[in-house]
């Protein structure tokens, strides 16, 4: 009897083929966190100014747009590091595709820079403007005239710039969720809740970062109250998301299992829900109702929870696909 050899070829052992797609590394969750944080800062800075009808009085708040510019540049670096063909990055700006979330995101990111720069220049007091123009580097580069012109432009169109900053911030925050949500092959990402969830989380983390810096007392109290609302909305959206997974397709239920008893359960419920949402919510409520002194714990916990949320969503989305 002749022995027969059966050879089976399968691509399922390839880690870049379904059921696993581990092609996004740390750069993407890092960008999603930084991008959401900047979106939250833009929304909050604009909303606070519209509320008080004047630029920020605190010096630290006046420089917050610069912090946002540094952070968004860091986020752009993360995206660049993730690109497989880095010399082709310019192609994002040679065309605009209305049906592509990445195309929208590329142009929104481009709008962030002028919006924040004009918001910053128009919000500086007289002393800070004089200091800026007097810098040696600014004079060496012959920028005083340009800065003076941009400052005048920012003053003349202040309200329009504030509203533009608000709208661009909302667009950036929603985009960080839609970047994942448009991928139908990944059930954990393909949900209409992703855009509002990431925007709300970005507003909460933005408020947390601002609360870690010296702010006007009135602005501080306002930020705490807005953060309470953002946390409550974020908790509600997470509940809706998990219910949707639990009652959806087999692939969606597999995603729910990951957060409700599976590999991501302990991290999600401890670091995201308890540390990042519930604990800051309780601390903020105590500050508002019992006038307890604000500490750095609540804002720090919110930032930790916001980062872990994005890490888990990217990881779980790559671990579960249509066939996973």
- Considering the domain boundaries, does residue 261 fall inside one? yes
Question: 117: domain range?
Answer: 27-319
- CA dist 311 and 205 (Å) reads 15
- CA dist 67 and 14 (Å) reads 42
- Considering the domain boundaries, does residue 4 fall inside one? no
Q: What pLDDT is attached to residue 114?
A: 94
The mean pLDDT value of the chain amounts to 83
- Considering the domain boundaries, does residue 137 fall inside one? yes
CATH number for the domain including 126?
1.20.1630.10
Q: What pLDDT is attached to residue 92?
A: 63
- Residues 174-185: what's their mean pLDDT? 72
If one compares 321 and 115, the residue with the highest pLDDT of the two is 115
Q: What pLDDT is attached to residue 267?
A: 92
pLDDT surpassing 90 at residue 206:
yes
- Considering the domain boundaries, does residue 240 fall inside one? yes
% residues pLDDT > 90 (the chain) = 44
Question: What are residue 295's phi and psi, to 5 degrees?
Answer: -115, 175
pLDDT, tens only, 84-143: 666 766 666 666 666 666 666 677 888 999 999 999 999 988 888 888 888 888 898 888
Q: What pLDDT is attached to residue 45?
A: 95
Burial track 253-287 (b if 16+ CB lie within 10 A, e otherwise): ebbbbbbeebebeeebeebbbebbbbbbbebbeeb
**Number of domains present in the structure of the chain:** 1
pLDDT, tens only, 33-88: 999 999 999 999 999 999 988 888 888 888 999 999 999 999 888 877 877 666 76
- What dihedral angle (degrees, nearest 10) is formed by the CA atoms of 250, 252, 257, 259? 180
Classify the phi-psi angles of 142: left when phi > 0, otherwise alpha if psi is within -120 to 50, otherwise beta: left
- Cis status of the peptide bond prior to 303, with omega within 30 of 0: no
**Cβ(165)–Cβ(115) below 8 Å:** yes
Q: How confident is the model at residue 324 (pLDDT cuts 50, 70, 90)?
A: very low
pLDDT, tens only, 218-266: 899 999 999 999 999 999 999 998 888 888 777 777 777 888 888 888 9
- Considering the domain boundaries, does residue 281 fall inside one? yes
Q: Where are the beta strands (DSSP E) in 93-173?
A: none
**Cβ(315)–Cβ(32) below 8 Å:** no
Q: How confident is the model at residue 316 (pLDDT cuts 50, 70, 90)?
A: confident
Q: What is the 3-state secondary structure (H, E, C) of 164-187?
A: HHHHHHHHHHHHHHHHHHCCCCCC
- Considering the domain boundaries, does residue 22 fall inside one? no
Please state the pTM of the whole predicted model.
Answer: 0.85
pLDDT surpassing 70 at residue 5:
no
Q: What pLDDT is attached to residue 203?
A: 96
Q: What pLDDT is attached to residue 43?
A: 96
DSSP string for 68-79: HHHHHHHHHHHH
pLDDT surpassing 80 at residue 319:
no
Q: What pLDDT is attached to residue 90?
A: 61
- CA dist 306 and 273 (Å) reads 10
- Residues 285-294: what's their mean pLDDT? 80
- Both tokens assigned to 122: 């128009």
Q: What pLDDT is attached to residue 263?
A: 84
- Considering the domain boundaries, does residue 263 fall inside one? yes
pLDDT surpassing 50 at residue 294:
yes
- Residues 194-202: what's their mean pLDDT? 92
Length of the chain in residues, anyone?
Answer: 324
- Considering the domain boundaries, does residue 289 fall inside one? yes
């Amino acid at each position: 009897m002749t022995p027969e050899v059966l050879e089976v070829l399968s691509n399922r052992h390839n880690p870049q083929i379904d059921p696993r797609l581990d092609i996004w590394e740390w750069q993407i969750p890092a960008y999603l966190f930084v991008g959401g944080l900047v979106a939250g800062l833009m929304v909050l800075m604009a909303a606070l100014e519209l509320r008080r009808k004047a630029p920020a009085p605190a010096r630290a708040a006046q420089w917050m747009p610069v912090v946002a510019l540094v952070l968004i540049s860091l986020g752009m670096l993360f995206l660049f590091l993730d690109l497989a063909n880095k010399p082709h990055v310019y192609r994002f700006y040679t065309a605009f595709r209305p049906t592509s979330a990445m195309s929208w995101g590329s142009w929104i990111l481009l709008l962030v820079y002028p919006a924040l720069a004009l918001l910053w220049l128009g919000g500086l007091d007289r002393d800070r403007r004089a200091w800026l123009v007097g810098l040696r580097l600014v004079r060496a580069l012959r920028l005083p005239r340009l800065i003076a012109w941009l400052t005048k432009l920012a003053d003349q169109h202040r309200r329009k710039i504030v509203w533009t900053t608000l709208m661009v911030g909302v667009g950036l925050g929603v985009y960080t969720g839609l970047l994942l949500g448009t991928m139908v092959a990944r059930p954990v990402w393909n949900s209409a809740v992703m855009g509002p969830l990431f925007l709300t989380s970005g507003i909460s983390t933005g408020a947390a970062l601002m609360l870690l810096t010296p702010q006007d007392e009135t602005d501080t109290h306002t930020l705490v109250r807005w953060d309470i609302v953002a946390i409550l909305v974020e908790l509600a959206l997470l509940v809706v998301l998990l219910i949707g997974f639990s009652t959806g397709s087999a692939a969606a239920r597999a995603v729910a299992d990951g957060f409700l008893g599976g590999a991501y359960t302990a991290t999600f419920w401890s670091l995201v829900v308890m540390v990042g949402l519930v604990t800051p919510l309780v601390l903020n409520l105590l500050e508002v109702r019992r006038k307890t002194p604000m500490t750095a714990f609540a804002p720090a916990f919110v930032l930790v929870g916001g980062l872990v949320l994005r890490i888990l969503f990217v990881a779980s989305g790559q671990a579960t696909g249509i066939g996973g």
